[in-house]
Amino acid sequence: MTSGSEALHEIGRLLKRSRKTLGLTQEQVADMAGISRPRYREIEAGASAARTTTLINIGRALGLELMLIPQVVVPAVEALLQPVGAEDDLPAFVASPDGEGNV
């Protein structure tokens, strides 16, 4: 499990990467999310936590969606997000004969 500080930095990196991919400035994202630029800068730097509603608004400004998933499903989601041609090219889910999915 990641620490709170590591999680904040990971979220910040994701926001920054998404913002830059879209060619947006911090000011533009902050305006679309309804927060100040200094507040957005702190969140993106991983220096400050944000309320869930703030993260939802930032995510929507960046074309992202905030999702809560059960921890048991995280390995399967991570497997699905592996780059094409990754070393471990196993399916994330395998259907059993009774139609139930296994992780």
Q: Residue 102: beta bridge partners? A: 94
pLDDT digits (tens, 9 = 90+) for 49-87: 999 999 999 999 999 999 889 999 989 888 888 776 655
Confidence at residue 91, expressed as pLDDT on a 0 to 100 scale: 58
> Rounded distance, CA 43 to CA 22, Å?
18
Six-digit token string for 97: 């004969």
Nearest residue to 45 (alpha-carbon basis) of 94, 96, 8: 8
Mean pLDDT of 90-98: 56
pLDDT digits (tens, 9 = 90+) for 39-50: 999 999 999 999
Percent of the chain with pLDDT strictly greater than 90:
62
Residue 3 has pLDDT above 50, yes or no: yes
Domains defined along the chain, listed by start: 4-61 (1.10.260.40), 71-102 (no CATH)
Which phi and psi (to 5°) does residue 18 adopt? -65, -45
> Rounded distance, CA 62 to CA 32, Å?
9
